[in-house]
């Protein structure tokens, strides 16, 4: 029975470690996801044909709504340069059709504008990744994943080949490895410059992804600035979400630490009683003055045993409370006021239960990882209840 329990615990522990590593592999970005107003995606109106032509020099053309939208984004990023290392604007559409003369497929489209190095680069199999000038000039080029390359071109290296998408022709400049995760909705995917489209499609969502220079305070400030720029979006702090994903493991380890502290304290109480009884026996054969060094040694041992138990208990308790500093929204304004406690609870509950939720691929991935870790830690805790209970009974008596 003990062998089976140990084997199960080892396997569960390995799976937990694997999922924690996967959670930590997510990028440390601040994401702001929003639905763009259709009026911001409009290009220049078509020129009127016919009519009298004035000989005077035509006035300078006014920027289109989409150009003004990108200009407002550039101004926002430039105003926050002291707080961030890089920022990129991405637009997303699911199941967009791509076609060649012989084949067709559907993949999730991601269009990019801004600082390309804000995103973690994918593993390149052939060709090249998008260049910064591709985004700035709006070149009709695309980086596709290997699955889409096979589906469209029946080969894994279709660099410089073309395909049609949303009424435009794009040239493949690179192929990347794609491993579908729980955050991906489509089997295939591709990336193109946002400015490559002559007419902007009706994007499902857009997101601004930023790498901040500071900590949680800086990210909170950036989220407020983004909310003022485009109201109605959802700010996602992936640093906090990665921390949240590992919370079940933190709770389990803290509870185990507290149980271990109780074991140490009970052991200390039992051993202290034995040591005190032994010092009494010494007095029957020796004077107290000659036993002073022994008493000091015994006292030091007793002190260290209790110090270890209390220290482990305090450390476990403080680590259990540490998430409060990462998630200050959990803390009521007045800790002992029932109304403040209820208001804090319902504010967090309302935010979690919104009918319409704007999420990102990385957030979906971390939510799934957190669910797996929660199940595994619950199983590990269930397997540990019996041995911990028996261990506590061993040191229950202090006589």
Number of helices and strands in the chain (H, E): 11, 10
Q: What is the pTM of this model?
A: 0.83
User: To 10 degrees, what angle do helices 238-245 and 2-24 make?
Assistant: 180
Signed CA dihedral, 365, 368, 372, 373: sign only: positive
Give me the pLDDT at residue 342, please: 78
pLDDT of residue 277: 86
Q: Which of 219, 200, 3 lies closest to 113 in space, CA to CA?
A: 200
Domain boundaries, the chain: 2-14+246-394, 64-231
Q: Which residues of the chain have pLDDT under 70?
A: 1, 44-60, 183, 288, 336, 348-356, 395-399
pLDDT value at position 398?
A: 44
Model confidence over 80-112: pLDDT tens digits?
A: 999 999 999 999 998 899 999 999 999 999 999
């Amino acid at each position: 029975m003990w062998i089976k329990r140990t084997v199960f615990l080892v396997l569960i522990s390995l799976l937990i470690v694997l999922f924690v590593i996967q959670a930590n592999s997510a990028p440390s970005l601040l994401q702001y996801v929003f639905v763009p107003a259709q009026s911001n995606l409009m290009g220049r109106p078509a020129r009127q044909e016919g009519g009298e032509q004035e000989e005077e020099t035509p006035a300078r053309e006014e920027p289109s709504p989409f150009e003004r939208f990108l200009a407002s984004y550039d101004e926002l990023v430039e105003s926050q340069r002291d707080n961030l290392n890089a920022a990129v604007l991405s637009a997303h559409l699911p199941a967009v059709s791509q076609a060649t003369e012989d084949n067709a497929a559907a993949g999730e489209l991601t269009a990019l504008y801004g600082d390309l190095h804000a995103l973690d680069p994918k593993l390149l199999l052939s060709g090249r990744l998008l260049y910064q000038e591709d985004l700035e000039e709006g070149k009709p080029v695309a980086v596709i994943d290997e699955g889409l390359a096979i589906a469209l071109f029946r080969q894994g290296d279709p660099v410089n080949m073309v395909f049609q998408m949303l009424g435009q022709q794009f040239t493949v400049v690179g192929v990347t490895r794609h491993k579908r995760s729980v955050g991906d909705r489509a089997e295939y995917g591709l990336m193109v410059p946002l400015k490559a489209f002559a007419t902007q499609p009706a994007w499902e969502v857009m997101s601004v992804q930023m790498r901040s220079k500071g900590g949680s305070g800086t990210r909170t400030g950036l989220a407020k600035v983004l909310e003022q720029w485009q109201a109605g979006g959802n700010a996602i702090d992936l640093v906090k979400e990665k921390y949240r994903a590992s919370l079940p493991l933190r709770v389990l380890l803290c509870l185990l630490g507290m149980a271990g502290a109780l074991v140490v304290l009970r052991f200390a109480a039992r051993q202290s009683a034995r040591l005190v009884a032994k010092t009494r026996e010494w007095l029957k054969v020796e004077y107290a003055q000659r036993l002073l060094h022994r008493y000091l040694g015994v006292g030091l041992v007793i002190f260290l045993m209790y110090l270890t138990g209390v220290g482990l208990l305090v450390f476990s308790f403080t680590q259990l409370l540490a998430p409060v500093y990462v998630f200050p929204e959990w803390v009521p304004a007045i800790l002992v006021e029932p109304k403040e406690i209820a208001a804090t609870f319902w504010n967090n509950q309302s935010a979690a239960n919104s009918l319409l939720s704007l999420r990102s691929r990385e957030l979906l991935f971390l939510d799934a990882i957190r669910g797996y870790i929660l199940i595994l830690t619950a199983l590990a805790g269930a397997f540990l209840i019996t041995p911990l209970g028996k261990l506590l009974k061993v040191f229950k008596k202090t006589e």
